[in-house]
């Protein structure tokens, strides 16, 4: 049996759907973080029910600094997912950039923007 050089179009479509789903959620999370940073949402404990007021007052509030760091990480994650979509269009998605072999589909489902196989990553 010959080793596959790339994923089939059907497999690529499965990964594309997965990435688009993760991208949609990541963009929503990013927008939420931006709202926290700018306080544009206008939400505070005054407009919540009494039950949630107690929870909000007792919980530590995400600081603008933390939200900024999380927003940066989220933006980077979004760019990695968008790059993965480009690799799908180019039909180079799922190919390890070190070994040239296919990355295991299980790894790609867990980390859809991966460009290294587990073996190559462990060598670093």
Provide the sign of the torsion angle of the four alpha carbons 14, 18, 21, 23, taken in this order: negative
pTM, two decimal places: 0.78
The answer for residues whose C-beta is within 8 angstroms of residue 71's C-beta and 6 or more apart is 30, 33, 34, 37
The string of pLDDT tens digits covering residues 35-90 is: 888 874 455 554 545 445 444 543 446 677 888 899 999 999 999 999 999 999 99
Q: How far is CA 114 from the centre of its chain?
A: 11
Q: How far is CA 82 from the centre of its chain?
A: 10
């Amino acid at each position: 049996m010959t080793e596959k050089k790339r994923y089939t179009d059907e497999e690529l479509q499965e990964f594309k759907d997965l990435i688009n789903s993760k991208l949609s959620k990541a963009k929503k999370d990013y927008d939420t973080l931006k709202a926290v940073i700018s306080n544009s949402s206008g939400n505070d404990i005054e407009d919540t029910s009494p039950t949630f007021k107690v929870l909000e007052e007792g919980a530590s509030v995400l600081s603008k600094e933390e939200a900024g760091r999380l927003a940066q990480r989220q933006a980077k994650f979004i760019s990695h997912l968008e790059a993965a979509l480009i690799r799908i269009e180019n039909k180079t998605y799922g190919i390890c950039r070190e070994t040239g072999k296919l990355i295991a589909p299980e790894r790609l489902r867990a980390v859809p923007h991966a460009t290294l196989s587990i073996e190559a990553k462990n060598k670093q």
